[in-house]
């Protein structure tokens, strides 16, 4: 195996995506400056894949951190794999390029490596990221996602992004894109919630059969932001099985949870604002889980979702009504 790419996976368009990424989402209470500091720490620790989004509201800070690490010689631009996402208020095809250009301007970069549809459920178009009615309910919209996809293809052709993909799509939604007449580029990836309590085995198998990479968010459980996640959700990192295996392997439960996904061929996003844990997360290439470990962790799956997107549950594009 080519050593340069031994920690990367080749996408169906020929580009390479590092198998471990740094997640930059932070709940509103976390100061934006934290994203700047932690992205720098992550790059210094060896992270080369940075997962971000317009919706996270911190692309200026993340971009500044990347540019600083390029300026001081730590990395070159081509060493970094940067993902941004098309937010739900920009899913109308005529708004897609504008949304990407907003991100590029915030980042002060010429291109991103990956541009993905953040969620298949459109919200009312415009710059207001969470449009709400008088009762505080999010206002949803309709769109043909095949038209949205065509607009992403044009962004790739324009050189604004190297690769394009989707997030939170179920099998039917992926099939709709793959079977689209005149499809120019397949989605390279589908970024979904995936962890030991929701191991996505069926969706993973389907994605592999179509040469689509499954990228895991909330791989360590969730940020538990009360706006999106029920507060009585289980604490994944407290799981006794993970603790027992971690002790046996002389690792942390978080490292075991990430390594489990990695060994199944999933690209893993690890989010942390602790310097110690950022460095620990980078060490998941240094050990392996045994077949017995893997089987034991398989047994933890309970198809439990932290991010249920309940605001969209009655929308025809709601992705989680299907089994996978």
**pLDDT, tens only, 128-148:** 999 999 999 999 999 999 999
Mean per-residue pLDDT over the chain, rounded: 96
Residue 166: C-alpha distances to residues 130, 139, 226, 299 (Å): 20, 22, 25, 28
Q: Is 171 helix (H, G, I), strand (E, B) or coil?
A: helix
DSSP classification of residue 300: T
- Give 1's pLDDT tier (boundaries 50, 70, 90): very low
Q: List, for residues 296-309, the tens digit of each pLDDT value.
A: 999 999 999 999 99
User: Strands, E, within 100-179: which ranges?
Assistant: 112-117, 161-167
CA 205 to chain centre: 18
- Give 233's pLDDT tier (boundaries 50, 70, 90): confident
Q: List, for residues 36-90, the tens digit of each pLDDT value.
A: 999 999 999 999 999 999 999 999 999 999 999 999 999 999 999 999 999 999 9
pLDDT of residue 116: 98
- Res. 2: pLDDT tops 60: no
pLDDT of residue 4: 60
pLDDT of residue 118: 98
Check if the beta carbon of residue 15 is closer than 8 Å to that of residue 162.
yes
Q: List, for residues 262-283, the tens digit of each pLDDT value.
A: 999 999 999 999 999 999 999 9
Q: How confident is the model over 92-101, as a mean pLDDT?
A: 98
- Res. 113: pLDDT tops 80: yes
pLDDT of residue 222: 75
pLDDT of residue 231: 80
- Res. 5: pLDDT tops 90: no
56: annotated active-site residue:
yes
Check if the beta carbon of residue 76 is closer than 8 Å to that of residue 70.
yes
Number of H helices, E strands in the chain: 10, 10
Percent of the chain with pLDDT over 90: 93
- Res. 227: pLDDT tops 90: no
Angle at 130 between CA 314 and CA 146, to 5 degrees: 60
Q: How confident is the model over 259-264, as a mean pLDDT?
A: 98
Q: How confident is the model over 201-206, as a mean pLDDT?
A: 98
Any bridge partners for residue 123, and if so which? Answer: 140
The two tokens of residue 229 are 């996640």
Q: List, for residues 152-190, the tens digit of each pLDDT value.
A: 999 999 999 999 999 999 999 999 999 999 999 999 999
Catalytic residue among 16, 25, 56, 82: 56
What is the b/e burial string over 58-91, where b = at least 16 CB atoms within 10 angstroms of the residue's CB?
A: bbebbbbbbeebbeeeeeeeeebbbbbbbbbbbb
Compute the distance between CA of residue 294 and CA of residue 186 in angstroms, rounded to an integer. Answer: 31
- Res. 150: pLDDT tops 90: yes
- Give 3's pLDDT tier (boundaries 50, 70, 90): low
CA nearest 21: which of 278, 306, 289? 278
Higher per-residue pLDDT: 233 or 33: 33
Compute the distance between CA of residue 113 and CA of residue 49 in angstroms, rounded to an integer. Answer: 9
Compute the distance between CA of residue 312 and CA of residue 118 in angstroms, rounded to an integer. Answer: 14
Phi/psi for 8 (5° steps) reads -125, 165
Compute the distance between CA of residue 181 and CA of residue 86 in angstroms, rounded to an integer. Answer: 23
């Amino acid at each position: 195996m080519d050593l340069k790419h031994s920690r990367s996976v080749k996408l169906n368009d020929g580009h390479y995506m590092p198998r471990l990424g740094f997640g930059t989402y932070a709940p509103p209470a976390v100061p934006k400056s934290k994203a700047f500091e932690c992205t720098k720490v992550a790059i210094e620790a060896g992270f080369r894949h940075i997962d971000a989004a317009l919706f996270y509201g911190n692309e200026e800070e993340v971009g500044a951190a990347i540019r600083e690490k390029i300026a001081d010689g730590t990395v070159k631009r081509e060493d970094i794999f940067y993902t941004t996402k098309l937010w739900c208020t920009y899913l109308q095809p005529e708004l897609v390029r504008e949304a990407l250009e907003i991100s590029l301007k915030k980042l002060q970069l010429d291109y991103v490596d990956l541009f993905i549809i953040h969620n298949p459920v459109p919200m009312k178009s415009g710059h207001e990221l969470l449009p709400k009615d008088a009762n505080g309910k999010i206002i949803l919209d309709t769109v043909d996602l095949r038209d949205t996809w065509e607009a992403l293809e044009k962004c790739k052709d324009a050189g604004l992004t190297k690769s394009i993909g989707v997030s939170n799509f179920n099998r039917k939604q992926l099939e709709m894109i793959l079977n689209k007449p005149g499809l120019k580029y397949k989605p390279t990836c589908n970024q979904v919630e995936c962890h030991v309590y929701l191991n996505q085995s069926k969706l993973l198998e389907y994605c592999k059969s179509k040469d689509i990479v499954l990228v895991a968010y909330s791989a360590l459980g969730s940020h538990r932001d009360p706006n999106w996640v029920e507060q009585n959700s289980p604490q994944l990192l407290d799981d006794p099985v993970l603790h027992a295996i971690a002790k046996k392997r002389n690792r942390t439960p978080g490292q075991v949870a990430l390594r489990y996904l990695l060994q199944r061929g999933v690209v893993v996003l690890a989010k942390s604002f602790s310097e110690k844990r950022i460095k620990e997360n980078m060490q998941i290439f240094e050990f392996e889980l045994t077949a017995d470990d893997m089987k034991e962790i398989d047994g933890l799956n309970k198809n439990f979702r932290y991010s249920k997107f309940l605001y969209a549950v009655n929308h025809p594009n709601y992705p989680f009504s299907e089994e996978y």
